[in-house]
Structure 1
């Protein structure tokens, strides 16, 4: 994977003009040419998606300014406007340096520009900002001897951040007005904070042995945050669950066409997103506490104090950075589904030749 270098595009991202006498794809490969109509990584495999999302969620993409992001978007649009209409069989060949330039711009676009709207996502709410923003919230949650008011405040901050991230990265084929956003925000934060605070307060009162309480106390953050996160996503994306998300088919040239909205696909999209967030929480909320306890038992880290909190934050940050890409890569961002598994109106889809269409697409969101 190529490390990010924020591109500086001159003249509004103008494309250089080259002319090559290339007669075949194999000859192009021998000449050092690259076909950029295909994804850099194989997104049909977990390994390819892992490489893709490691690139997309890199915090280094946050260094690009809004003007650089727009220039990257314009450059990508400029290249893709020149792609052949037959996206399945056609190729667009460029030199290796030009391919690297396109891929760097594509990385910025994928990390910071919403695929449905084409608009730049507000910086703190991009998935590439997930690690630094969550570390700030975790630092607040790890403050010593928190009061109930402090616990409620930081849980509210955490859930408010989750709301903003979920809304900013949701499928935009089903828009929400500000009243709907406000209602969903109130429901998401209230219920999620109640779950998180309620569970953290309930465990110490359970009639269990100290050892059992200690184990449960270790798991409470994971269970409460995961449960609250599922509620949060469901509230913020309830219109996708109720009204559905856009369903697309590809023509013989590989171009996408929207054919309707499917609530079943919407429910599937929200469920996959929620599962990805839970998978992110499993290592992040379980491994760092266990690692910290091990270090403290070995007397390598004090049991309390600033150093203990610093080590805890470092472990959590490392866990977030390492495990976020594989969690998101578990499911493809553009998901395929057999139309027979959707509403009856999609069951008899046919292509131009009269053959049954066996696969349609929808945007899962992040």
Structure 2
């Protein structure tokens, strides 16, 4: 737990973020689905308490537990760059309830083209909102860019799903078609995330030194961060979308399952939810949130930016640059 002079360091995670286990504990804490039921009034009060504590002006008698809980609410609902309160559906704490409902539906209703198109559209609408909400807020994105990312990702998901469905219908049995939604989701993530954050790729994202002082925007940092986010998103979805079909294929023929066919959808949604409860924080923790690159990389990748750093810092060029990769 980050502390200084007996006080909690309100701007640092409670667990060591240089270790995978520390990051998993942090994201289990931050992505707690129960926080989505907290009212805006309580969230704003938590933000105010965090800001007061940061200045050393918190009200007398406030306990450590209250400060820690306020920090939890603040980090679960407010953007780390802009400090703005995020919309509920776009928060990572909504990934479990939102993801389990949509993913379970995609896995359950996949047999008709109409169902495939509808649920892929719903999923990409959800993903687009999550990607926009958790982007690096220092990079601007226009309404036109958002629309392009949304339409392209939705189209890629639908084309992949319908194409694979037809291909497997001719060459494999119904069981293989259960995995079509995952292929569509993976393909769409490879499109949705980069397009939704295209301004970062074009303009770079701001890097800082160890003390959070701004250094220079970097396109390499943007590419690295976006690549890690895409990998994490696919990893997050993989167990639920790959193992759940196997489980359902085994239990659906059983007599008790035949008697409760209307409940197959809800059961599948709950199974996916069990995976997401663990995979959401685990996938978020694969890479550090505060990502780093070596300034030496800029010698090869972006000499112009290296010259900017040298002019700004002289001989004391930071060896390591840091940036928020987004989620």
TM range (shorter): 0.7 to 0.9
CA distance in 2, matches of 1:66, 1:344: 46
Matched, 1:169 2:140: no
Q: Give the Å deviation of 1:248.
A: 0.9
Count of residues in correspondence between the two structures: 318
Equivalent positions of 1:6-85 (< 5 A) are 33-36=6-9, 38-82=12-56
Kindly report which structure 2 residues correspond to 1:168-187, keeping only aligned pairs within 5 A, or say none: 168-187=133-152
Q: 1:352 to 1:289 in 2, by over 3 A?
A: same
Q: Cα offset for 1:292?
A: 2.4
Give the Cα separation in 2 of the matches to 1:98 and 1:39.
Answer: 18
Distance 1:147 1:352 in 2: 61
Q: What is the CA–CA distance in structure 2 between the aligned matches of 1:138 and 1:39, rounded to whole Å? A: 30
Larger deviation: 307-316 or 356-365? 307-316
Answer yes or no: is the 8 Å Cα contact 1:188–1:236 preserved in 2: no
Superposition TM-score, scaled by structure 2 size: 0.87
1:359 aligns with 2:320: yes
Cα separation, 1, equivalents of 2:320 and 2:256: 55
Q: Distance in 2 between matches of 1:178 and 1:116?
A: 20
**Considering only CA atoms, is the larger Rg found in Structure 1 or Structure 2?**
1
Match of 1:110 among 71, 75, 81: 75
1:244-282 deviations in Å (ceiling 9; x for gaps): 1111113xxx3x121221111111111000000111122
- Measure the CA separation in 1 of the matches of 2:291 and 2:232: 14
Q: What are the Cα deviations for residues 69-125 of structure 1, in whole angstroms up to 9, with x where unaligned?
A: 111111111212349xxxxxxxxxx99x73322221111111110111111111111
Partner of 2:182: 222
**Structure with higher helix content:** 2
In structure 2, list runs of 5 or more residues that go unmatched: none
Does the aligned pair in 2 maintain the 1:246–1:362 contact within 8 Å?
Answer: yes
Q: Residue 204 of structure 1: CA displacement?
A: 1.0
Gap regions ≥5 residues in structure 1? 2-24, 84-93
Q: Distance in 2 between matches of 1:152 and 1:174?
A: 32
Q: Secondary structure at the match of 2:323?
A: strand
Residues 107 and 181 of structure 2 are in contact (CA less than 8 Å); yes or no, is this contact kept in structure 1?
no
Assess if the C-alpha contact under 8 Å between 1:192 and 1:231 holds in 2. Answer: no
- TM, length-normalised to structure 1: 0.78
- Equivalent residue, structure 2, for 1:318: 274
With over 3 angstroms needed to count, the CA separation of the structure-2 counterparts of 1:142 and 1:153, relative to structure 1, is same
Against the structure 1 CA distance between its residues 241 and 352, is the aligned structure 2 distance closer, same or farther, given a 3 Å change threshold? Answer: closer
Q: 1:274 matched to which residue of 2?
A: 230
CA–CA distance in structure 1, aligned partners of residues 162 and 259 of structure 2: 24
Note the aligned Cα RMSD (angstroms).
2.8
SS of 2:127 mapped into structure 1: helix
- CA distance 1:149–1:220, shift in 2 (3 Å): closer
Per-residue deviation, 1:328:
0.7
The C-alpha deviation readout for 1:174-230, integer Å capped at 9, x for no partner, is 111222222222222222322223222321123xxx5xx456434332222111122
